[in-house]
Structure 1
Amino acid sequence: MPPKTPAKPTGTGSTATTTGASNRVGKPKPKSAAPKLTRPKPGQLPKHYRRAVFKEKGGDLSLEMVELKPPGANEILVKVEACGVCFSDTYSQYNAHNVEFPLCPGHEIIGRVASIGSNVVSWKVGQRIGSGWYGGSDGTCFNCHNGYFQMCENGVVNGVGKNGGYAEYCLINQEAGVVVPNNIKAEIAAPLLCAGVTVYNTLKRANLNPGSNIVVQGMGGLGHLAIAYGRAMGHRIIVVSRGKTKEQDAYRLGASVYIDSAKLTPETLPEAIKKTGLISLAITTAPKGEVISPLVTALGPEGKLMVLSVPEGGEQPLPVSVYHMLIRGLTVGSWPSGHSRDSEEAVSFAVLNGIETWTDAYPLEKANEAFKHMLSGGSKYRTVITMPK
């Protein structure tokens, strides 16, 4: 996991970077102007588009204008409406998959089909489309054969292994396309393709009886959606969060109980949770060593603890009471986002049940500001970059 603190900024964060230079010795030529972004006629595509990119490991985002390329045979060109900003985008910033810079991040993409490749038969121009963390799979490995496409041994991640959605246009693999209804705003739908599908799959696969007690620890981007999805699935939600600032929001989202962990110790937290009822599932979205052990201790028989994010500061051991796991038959696990069909389910469920992501929106010109806002923890829930109409 890349470090939380970004490296010393090296770019302006919002300045176009395309320049020209003279190859002659002697009198230099003036710098050539960046390509002008002209408005195309209806039905036409522009020759160039803007995107926000990392140009070096640990650097800032900067805007650049690049040539618009047609989709390959199995690709879809998407005119982006909005793209979510996720902490996992630091994998792009620090080039976790060792691809070439410049690299355009973004894996919570909502837009419309602008053009399709010759082998694409399931999509048409103008159709609403999205794409999430899952950016494509080989379809032949063991994991794919068993339906775990997002765990493909040779899979690709949007915005990490290939250019993503911090852009006016982007290319996605056809198998990574997600059908998105027209009756949901782009900035609300975008985070559902990562945070939303992650908590949706976690809750769905827990196989709980209606009315089960679920603890949601950490009330940020993942946590606020876990509350909303869990309540919509008919469960009773107990929120564990530090401080009182988000208490009223928790109740608005559907929580039944709010526990301020700042007033408790690791020793007293389990008892406070147990007083709310028999806990079938605990979801931790802000895992820390001092929180994990109390959550395990608070679980009822055959309870499950699901860890849905990397601990702050990167990989680190998380203490778990093996004794409590043995005597109560407990399970500790995780779930990695979802594939296209999972995302379609998560979005459809949200639309049908009135679940909306709470977001802070920034225009593409302020992509670097949006990214830093997310890193600083300034985003109360989710941050989204929106594109010109």
Structure 2
Amino acid sequence: MRAWQVRSPGPLESGPLELVEKETPTPGEGEVLVRVLTCGVCRTDLHVTEGDLPAHRQRVTPGHEIVGQVVGAGPGTTRFTTGERVGIPWLRRTCGVCRHCRTGRENLCRRSLYTGWDADGGYAEYTTVPEGFAYRLPARFDDATAAPLLCAGIIGYRALRRANVPPGGRLGLYGFGGSAHLTAQVALAQGLEVHVLTRGEQARRFALGLGCASAGDARDMPPVALDSAIIFAPAGDIVPYALAAIGPGGTVACAGIHLSEIPALDYQAALFHEKTLTSVESNTRRDGEEFLLLADRLGLHPTTHEYPFEEADRALQYLARGDIEGAGVLRIAEAV
């Protein structure tokens, strides 16, 4: 099969990705083999490719927002039938027995594994997944629009919950890419007032078109005091701005797996008045199931930009520019 792999992590300008021929994977016990139809292009793929995250697998194939068809199965599989459409997310496996797994916090499992980081992902014609970690997808979403739901959507949903926004409250979104544009739709549907702060003019226009109350630069103060904020941009220097923008008792949630260094914080100015600074680590399968049901019920509209499979590197370059509308998606194959 054809697959992209990270030849050597580094800046996109150095050409870290290469398109190669690999052996089609064989599903192990409890796994299914999936023919990849589409794969979303997520910022975490960029972190894996450029080396912001430490390499967990040499020459890994990135991609963890995967939509495909089951075409094979390993021993002991019972959940899916051949030809069924499934979604493969970032979270690939957890131990199931640690105190975090046993208390509904499997996203904190220290032995967790991840698609496109610990195991080859969806920038390929075929991949495998443990059947218990794959999702059935709402029929409402076609193969391209379903892809960003599987990480951008799910992580945004968990970040929104972690942000602890009061009913009818004011929410700030720092950065406005694939995850934020879906989170904004959920927040607006819940009656929240959404303010976007991002560097890109095109992204700001996009946010206003979705119904957000304001859109300014990431280092501007919003026009009103916020109750909560979510930082999607991987820029730690935004944290003090977000903390300054929220009122007493507010929460700032950092949604990314990678964040550059946070400047020193003055306790009185940044954190006093019971402000909370928190993070988001992956998601649980319950988060995923809840979000997909919610996305279906609300009729979310993921905005996607489709790229041919052969242009994965160009799709990552588009993402890296930052001033984007929605999410990039690789088209690998058509459903049969």
TM class by shorter chain equals 0.7 to 0.9
- Give the Cα separation in 2 of the matches to 1:119 and 1:340: 21
- In the TM superposition, residue 251 of structure 1 has moved relative to its aligned partner by 2.2
**Which of 276, 282, 306 is equivalent to 1:337?**
282
**Counterpart AA for 2:275:** L
Q: Would the aligned equivalents of 1:292 and 1:319 in 2 still touch at CA under 8 Å? A: no
Q: Distance in 1 between matches of 2:66 and 2:46?
A: 17
Paired with 1:369 and 1:331, the residues of 2 have a C-alpha distance of 38
| Other structure's SS at 2:155 match | helix
Partner-residue secondary structure (3-state), 1:130:
strand
Alignment of 1:259 with 2:216, yes or no, is yes
Cα distance 1:290–1:377, how it changes in 2: closer, same or farther (>3 A)?
closer
Question: What is the identity percentage for the equivalent residue pairs of Structure 1 and Structure 2?
Answer: 30
Measured in 1, the distance between the counterparts of 2:302 and 2:170 equals: 23
Q: Residue 62 of structure 1: CA displacement?
A: 2.5
Matched, 1:163 2:108: no
Match among 1, 25, 29 for residue 73 of structure 1? 29
Query: 1:51 maps to which residue?
Result: 3
* 2:92 paired residue number: 135
**Counterparts of 1:243 and 1:133, CA distance in 2:** 27
| 1:96 alignment partner in structure 2 | 54
The answer (yes or no) to whether the contact 2:66–2:87 under 8 Å persists in 1 is yes
How far off is 1:299 after superposition?
1.6
Which of these two proteins has the greater Rg computed from alpha carbons? 1
CA distance in 1, matches of 2:106, 2:37: 26
Deviation at 1:279, TM superposition (A): 2.2
Residues 140-155 of structure 1 aligned to structure 2 (within 5 Å) = 140-155=97-112
1:76-225 alignment, distance < 5 Å: 76-93=32-49, 94=51, 96-101=54-59, 103-225=60-182
Instruction: Count residues in correspondence.
Output: 328
* 1:247 CA drift (Å): 3.5
Distance 2:214 2:6 in 1: 42
1 CA distance for matches of 2:36 and 2:168?
A: 39
Query: How much does 1:135 deviate?
Result: 0.9
Partner Cα separation in structure 2 for residue 124 and residue 204 of structure 1? 34
Structure 2 CA distance, aligned partners of 1:87 and 1:203? 18
- What SS does the aligned partner of 1:245 have? helix
Structure 2 letter corresponding to 1:74: G
CA distance in 1, matches of 2:196, 2:95: 39
| 1:244 Cα deviation after fit | 4.0
In 2: Cα distance, 1:172 partner to 1:318 partner: 39
2-structure distance, mates of 1:63, 1:341: 35
CA contact (8 A) 1:113 1:124 kept: yes
Q: CA deviation at 1:324?
A: 4.2
Residue in 2 that maps onto 1:386: 331
Structure 2 gap ranges (5+): none
Match of 1:249 among 206, 219, 238: 206
Moved more, 174-183 or 328-337: 174-183
Q: 1:45 corresponds to which residue?
A: none
Structure 2 partner of 1:296: 243
Q: Deviations over 1:208-234 (max 9, x none)?
A: 432111111222223222211211222
Q: Secondary structure at the match of 1:52?
A: strand
1:360 and 1:254 map into 2 onto residues whose CA distance is: 21
Give the TM-score normalised by structure 2: 0.88
8 A Cα contact 1:301 1:330, kept in partner? yes
> Within 2, Cα distance between the matches of 1:293 and 1:377?
21
Q: Which moved more, 1:282-291 or 1:172-181?
A: 282-291
- In the TM superposition, residue 338 of structure 1 has moved relative to its aligned partner by 1.2
Deviations 1:130-167, CA, capped at 9 Å, x for gaps: 12110111111222122222222111110111110111
- Please tell me the residue identity of whatever aligns with 1:301: P
Preserved contact between residue 199 and residue 229 of structure 1 (Cα < 8 Å): no
Give 1:255 shift: 0.7
3-state DSSP of counterpart to 2:4: strand
Shift of residue 304 of structure 1?
0.2
Counterpart CA distance in 1 for 2:8 and 2:237 is 35
Distance 2:33 2:207 in 1: 38
Corresponding residue of 1:46: none
Instruction: Give 1:305 deviation, angstroms.
Output: 0.6
Residue type of the partner of 2:231? T
Q: 8 Å contact 1:52–1:364 — kept in the other structure?
A: no
Whole-Å separation in 2 of the counterparts to 1:287 and 1:69: 33
Aligned Cα root-mean-square deviation (Å): 2.4
Q: Provide the rounded CA distance (Å) in 2 between the counterparts of 1:171 and 1:185.
A: 21
Matched, 1:285 2:232: yes
1:105 CA displacement:
0.9
Deviations along 1:139-198, whole A, 9 cap, x unmatched? Answer: 112221222222221111101111101111100112221121222022212112112111
SS of equivalent residue, structure 1 residue 144: helix
Q: Distance in 2 between matches of 1:51 and 1:326?
A: 46
The CA deviation string for residues 323-350 of structure 1, in whole angstroms up to 9 with x for no partner, is 1465421100011231333122222212
